[in-house]
Amino acid sequence: MIPEMSPTVDAVKHTVVPIVAETCGASQGCGACAPGTNGPVCQFTLPGSDAGPELKGPESETRRLMAALAPCLSNDGVPAARRVRSLHVRPGEVELTLNIGPQCQGAAIADDAFQVLKGLLPETDIYVLHAQR
Q: Give residue 9's pLDDT.
A: 47
Model pLDDT, residue 125: 96
Eight-class DSSP state of 79: -
- Tell me the angle at which helices 106-120 and 59-73 cross, rounded to the nearest 10 degrees: 140
pLDDT in tens, 27-47: 344 555 666 666 655 555 555
| Interval 44-63: pLDDT, tens | 555 555 678 899 999 999 99
Nearest alpha carbon to residue 79 among 63, 99, 62: 99
In whole angstroms, give the CA distance from residue 110 to residue 11: 21
Residue spans of the domains in the chain: they are 8-130
Q: How many helices (H) and strands (E) does the chain have?
A: 3, 8
Q: Which one-letter amino acid corresponds to residue 108?
A: A
pLDDT tens readout for residues 81-100:
888 999 999 999 999 999 88
Its pTM stands at 0.68
